[in-house]
Structure 1
């Protein structure tokens, strides 16, 4: 397993991973959001490779005041889910976020389909917005104080 920074040439593979998880974990409408994110909003984004093939990705951004690290856009190949790769990439990002001295908390916005994964790291549910991402895809906003986030 290898984690490395995202490169623009990775975009077609990441879109393929998204499509493999649509509509089970993502709404078809979210593809345009991912494309926009990859072109305009990336701050720290990574890909996870196994046998030199991208099987997952995820990143983080900082709030404007640089006090919150915001975990973003986790996507894994369906055959790679449940094998610890998501935990490894999340641990990696938490460690990178904790290196930033101004950070006080970490947040993640996900859906009802994935929020339990983040709860294992100590994130607490703060808000639910029904049909936020699309019909049937609710927003689950979770946060944790930087000192309470667990590496698993």
Structure 2
């Protein structure tokens, strides 16, 4: 896909990303998760990437590592809803999986998502491992999934 750039997150991206996340509330994220994302960007970020499409920031997603248990977590994925269905989310996911497989090839790759998005990951070789009801917030269940390649 031409005119698609995936690059490392920079602090000046924060406001744009918060605005995009708000566009995904309440369909894909709970209202409470907005503050969780702010905390993530300020304190928990490890590898985080921004997607630009035709010169505009349209989404982002990260990787967090648990070295002791050899787990790589796909974290905080979201795309501006206006750009859903164009393959941008898939490209961002593939980009991060490729990084993990090069840097940490013996790590298990997981994602913690919800019932509203898990089908996207199923289409991209993730398998559902477990469900915890109302984990993220009332009406937002945890779907724990593992990448199987």
TM-score range, shorter chain: over 0.9
Alignment partner, residue 6 of structure 1: 9
Alignment partner, residue 53 of structure 1: 56
**Any idea what the Cα deviations from partners look like across 1:6-41, whole Å, max 9, x if unmatched?**
001100011001111111111111011000000111
Task: Report how far residue 104 of structure 1 moved.
Answer: 2.8
Q: C-alpha separation between the residues in 1 aligned to 2:66 and 2:25? A: 28
Q: C-alpha separation between the residues in 1 aligned to 2:117 and 2:60? A: 15
**Any idea what the Cα deviations from partners look like across 1:66-123, whole Å, max 9, x if unmatched?**
6111000011101101110000000000000001245331000000001111112221
Match of 2:101 among 75, 98, 103: 98
Matched residues, number: 146
The answer to whether structure 1 residue 82 and structure 2 residue 71 are counterparts is: no
The answer to whether structure 1 residue 129 and structure 2 residue 132 are counterparts is: yes
Instruction: Report the RMSD for the aligned CA atoms in angstroms.
Output: 1.2
Is the CA contact (8 Å cut-off) linking 2:90 and 2:124 kept in structure 1? no
Q: Which runs of 4 or more aligned residues in structure 1 lie more than 3 Å from their structure 2 counterparts after TM superposition?
A: none
Match of 1:119 among 122, 142, 146: 122
Q: 1:81 to 1:7 in 2, by over 3 A?
A: same
**Any unmatched runs of 5+ in structure 2?**
none
Alignment partner, residue 27 of structure 2: 24
Q: C-alpha separation between the residues in 2 aligned to 1:101 and 1:60? A: 11
